[in-house]
Amino acid sequence: MTKQLVLIGGGHAHMVTLANLHTFIEKGHGVTVIQPSEYHYYSGMGPGMLGGTYHPDEIRFATRRLVEAKGGRFILGKAYRIDPHKQRILLEETEEGTEKEIPYDVLSCNAGSFVPRTMVQGQSGNLFTAKPIENLLVAKERIINLSATKKITIAIVGSGPSAIEIAGNIHQLCRKQGGEMPRIQLFGGKKFMSGRPARVSCLVRKILGEKGIEIIEAGHVREIDNNKFFLENGRSYSADIIFLAVGVKPSQLFARSGLPIGPDGGLLVDGFLRSRRYNNIFGGGDCIYFEPEPLDKVGVYAVRQNSVLYRNLLACLAGKEPEKFSPGGKYLLIYNLGDEEGVLSKGFVTFSGKLAFRVKDYIDRRFIRSFQN
């Protein structure tokens, strides 16, 4: 009997499944992929696109073209709610003529994450969040246009990986454009790169400092209103362009659907990457909360989940037992700080400079080419 597999999102955790979509179709199953864009951008190369190292085509996957070429159905839209009892997905946005509810027998979620905007009051055309990655394309043009007319101030709120990579690549972008370098300020809360190894923080601080990027640790940003923002200690600042890079939260889809969720709002999954309550719902990447052991919001775990998620979806459709996912050991972290400089860290090995960037560039290009092809 034909069963329907539905994938929400074509992100990192679904790459192997998408590459092998034909195996589901050859077994007689229907496959539908729901995504709000025809492309999926690789977040690990997003700051490099902002800085001009990469062209958009080099860091994105043509999800729609891939799905349709392999005989699946692609729906340009956004999943708003999941009804696990009726086994239906209610869509928020659809193409004209597409039904509002999509049925499934097996569902897999790679719905990603978002940057919360709770501190933002009012509207500003010059405020950008680190996600979705497409935002960085618009931000790039805005920086180029504004900096061509005057000396501007650019503020980055946050001090994690996204914030430091955005700051460094803004410097690269403006250096390549010529003209007057903007004032770049990074508001890192009370402690820069809190939770990261001291050696890594020290090297990042050194590289950004050499670029003239100011690191402000006077306190957390409490509120942003148009081009002004206020710290919790009462001090205020203004900037021509503001980037919000304060960390990410899982998609609100699961809380909205009444599914079991973890403390961060992510889909609560067991060791099989399967919903704690519904055996035909799976998930991977930033949108899940892995119950056996909470995982950092880094792309390496989504990549490691790929093959297990693919095999477990096949097993579920066939009525077979799934296999467990093992997060693995320590992972490699490399930060792209612009101007072909980076910081690399794994275990006891930490260093910075051109070699760190080249290692990251090689790994990223190899990864994306393998799935683009």
Question: pLDDT (tens digit, 9 = 90+) per residue, 136-190?
Answer: 999 999 999 999 889 999 999 998 899 999 999 999 999 999 878 999 999 988 8
* CATH of residue 296: 3.50.50.60
The CA-based dihedral angle spanning residues 368, 168, 124, 57, taken in that order and rounded to the nearest 10 degrees = -20
**Could you tell me if residue 326 is inside a domain?**
no
What is the chain's length? 373
* Residue corresponding to tokens 């890079």: 245
Same-domain status, 30 and 106: yes
Same-domain status, 144 and 240: yes
Same-domain status, 169 and 233: yes
User: For residue range 61-113, what is the model confidence (pLDDT) as tens digits?
Assistant: 999 999 999 999 999 999 999 999 999 999 986 555 556 899 999 999 999 88
For Cα atoms 317, 78, 50, give the angle at the middle one, nearest 5 degrees: 110
The partner residues of 349 in beta bridges, in order of sequence, read 346
Distance of alpha carbon 146 from alpha carbon 142, whole angstroms: 6
Q: What value does the mean pLDDT take over residues 346-363?
A: 96
Question: Distance of CA 2 to CAs 5, 29, 103, 264, 317, Å?
Answer: 10, 5, 13, 36, 10
Give the contacts of 239 (CB within 8 A, at least 6 positions apart): 152, 153, 154, 155, 185, 227, 229
**Could you tell me if residue 341 is inside a domain?**
no
- CA nearest to 335, candidates 297, 361, 365: 361
Same-domain status, 62 and 85: yes
Distance of alpha carbon 169 from alpha carbon 53, whole angstroms: 9
State which residues form the domain around 187: 123-247
- CA nearest to 170, candidates 208, 227, 199, 131: 208
Handedness of CA 232, 234, 237, 238 (dihedral sign): positive
Q: Which of 276, 300, 318 is the last residue of a domain?
A: 318
Question: Is the pLDDT score of 226 beyond 80?
Answer: yes
**Could you tell me if residue 314 is inside a domain?**
yes
Same-domain status, 37 and 71: yes
Same-domain status, 257 and 237: no
User: For residue range 242-282, what is the model confidence (pLDDT) as tens digits?
Assistant: 999 988 889 999 999 999 999 999 999 999 999 999 999 99
Same-domain status, 163 and 261: no
**Could you tell me if residue 350 is inside a domain?**
no
Same-domain status, 147 and 217: yes
- 288 Cα distance to chain centroid: 13
Distance of alpha carbon 43 from alpha carbon 88, whole angstroms: 29
Same-domain status, 105 and 253: yes
250: phi then psi, degrees, rounded to nearest 5: -60, 155
Same-domain status, 239 and 134: yes
Cβ atoms 199, 351 nearer than 8 A: no
User: For residue range 311-339, what is the model confidence (pLDDT) as tens digits?
Assistant: 999 999 999 999 999 998 888 999 999 99
| 3-state SS class at 98 | coil
**Could you tell me if residue 147 is inside a domain?**
yes
- CA nearest to 169, candidates 52, 270, 283: 52
Q: How many domains does the chain have?
A: 2
Q: Which of 290, 318, 346 is the last residue of a domain?
A: 318
Same-domain status, 97 and 144: no
Cβ atoms 49, 369 nearer than 8 A: no
Same-domain status, 176 and 276: no
Q: Which of 247, 263, 297 is the last residue of a domain?
A: 247
The interaxial angle of helices 198-210 and 161-177, nearest 10 deg, is 20
Distance of alpha carbon 69 from alpha carbon 41, whole angstroms: 19
Distance of alpha carbon 235 from alpha carbon 233, whole angstroms: 6
pLDDT value at residue 329: 85
**Could you tell me if residue 357 is inside a domain?**
no
**Could you tell me if residue 18 is inside a domain?**
yes
| 3-state SS class at 235 | coil
**Could you tell me if residue 353 is inside a domain?**
no
* Residue corresponding to tokens 């790039």: 140
User: For residue range 105-131, what is the model confidence (pLDDT) as tens digits?
Assistant: 999 999 988 888 888 887 777 999 988
